Amino acid sequence: MKIDIPNIIKSSIDAKTKMLNENQEAIQKACELMLNSVMSGNKILWCGNGGSAADSQHMSAELMGGLRSHNRDPIPSIALTTDSSFVTAWSNDTAFDYIFSRQIDGIGSSGDVLVAISTSGNSTNVLNAIRSAQLKKIKSVILTGKSQGKMKGMGDIMISVPTNDTQRVQECHLLVEHILCEYLEAEYKK
């Protein structure tokens, strides 16, 4: 099988251009919401499955450790994907559908922000995390694909990449996530 590398790159550029045109305001609002949260002494919670789980861990690490600067104060951030003992025990003993919501119930606080990542918008455990966040008065920023799936109409800010091509959605999510982290790093003052 031969792939068309220039076409793949062009489709990624097209997806990002469409995302800029359709989501610039939502991205700015997400930046400001997250900054207000951490400036008020709260934290950023991240969740997602598969590649989105990796993004959650990656971005939480950028906020805690430093994206462009390691000489700044850490920005409070937790990836709900990283406690392997809890995730595997809870999945085995109860249900995988509640691995994130259970953690939000335990460590989430009013004023925190949840960044919920789901390419399809249909991940049950991410949907449950958003619902738990709402009950605890935790604002949600949702990153998803064009259809938004079952997450349509949920959360406080929806950043919906205008394609259903999983790879392009994931590439756009990574760009948005880096923008969120860059903004927080530039503006956060402890």
Query: How many domains is the chain built from?
Result: 1
Residue 1: band (very low, low, confident or very high) from pLDDT cuts 50, 70, 90: confident
- pTM: predicted TM-score of the whole model, two decimal places: 0.96
Residue 124 sits in a domain of what CATH number? 3.40.50.10490
Q: Does 11 fall in a domain?
A: no
Whether the predicted pLDDT of 190 surpasses 80: no
Q: What's the pLDDT at 167?
A: 95
Q: Does 39 fall in a domain?
A: no
Residue 160: band (very low, low, confident or very high) from pLDDT cuts 50, 70, 90: very high
Q: Does 85 fall in a domain?
A: yes
Q: Does 142 fall in a domain?
A: yes
Q: Does 55 fall in a domain?
A: yes
Q: 111: Cβ–Cβ under 8 A, 6 or more apart, which residues?
A: 37, 40, 41, 42, 137, 138
Residue 189: band (very low, low, confident or very high) from pLDDT cuts 50, 70, 90: confident
